[in-house]
A and B are shown apart, each in its own frame.
Chain A
Amino acid sequence: KNEVEQSPQNLTAQEGEFITINCSYSVGISALHWLQQHPGGGIVSLFMLSSGKKKHGRLIATINIQEKHSSLHITASHPRDSAVYICAALGGSQGNLIFGKGTKLSVKP
């Protein structure tokens, strides 16, 4: 079992839909990252959070430390949101990220 699990693996949505991607982790962490990766490889950091909730534009990330669970929400989804969304847990004394396998999101117009 991976230390960081994401669901779903693939997600297809219609433009305008509200999207939720889930992340569960089994390790102790100091923070959790949500990352966005477009075709071609470049990774963009969306959020780093250790408690509560963060919002940036149409993106919202929440984390429940007790339940070891985080969610990424996208409101009013748009085709340009199509990408792979990766959850990564920051844990351990050396600060290495442990990555989930990613959720491939496709938003259809």
Chain B
Amino acid sequence: DTGVSQDPRHKITKRGQNVTFRCDPISEHNRLYWYRQTLGQGPEFLTYFQNEAQLEKSRLLSDRFSAERPKGSFSTLEIQRTEQGDSAMYLCASSRTGYGYTFGSGTRLTVV
């Protein structure tokens, strides 16, 4: 297992387009997290899954954002009708209950 993988690494999209990011966690990790990080700031929590159940969503996650983890393995984060303010690094992390987190390298989104 090579850790948490995120795809793509970079995405440039036009305003108004939809984008989807994927995260493959460490296989034995039951928890998966999505964070967003803007320049000069620490990451901010977006949403969290335990197995396939989405247990918590941040107020940052507007109606244009949706996340899934259909089989409790990989997860996708979709942003519909992207806006320039969505430009950020989207980070995925996974963990096993009671243990530390492993982060992916992130997907950098630029909305032009």
Contact = CB atoms under 8 A, between A and B. Distances in A.
Interface stretch (B19-27, B42-50, B62-70, B71-79): B42-50
A86 to B, nearest CB: 6
Interface residues of B, number: 27
A96 B48 contact: yes
B2 interface: no
Contact of B31 (A4, A44, A48, A95): A95
A101 B37 CA distance: 10
B31 A35 contact: no
B65 to A, nearest CB: 16
B31 A41 contact: no
B108 interface: yes
A33 B106 contact: no
B51 interface: no
A35 B95 CA distance: 15
A34 to B, nearest CB: 10
A42 B91 CA distance: 8
Contact of B105 (A42, A48, A88): A42
Given A41-B108, A45-B100, A99-B43, 13 more contacts: A33-B101, A41-B37, A41-B89, A42-B106, A43-B43, A48-B100, A88-B42, A88-B43, A97-B45, A97-B93, A97-B101, A99-B44, A101-B42
Interface of B: 31, 33, 35, 37, 40-45, 48, 55-56, 89, 91, 93, 95, 97, 99-106, 108
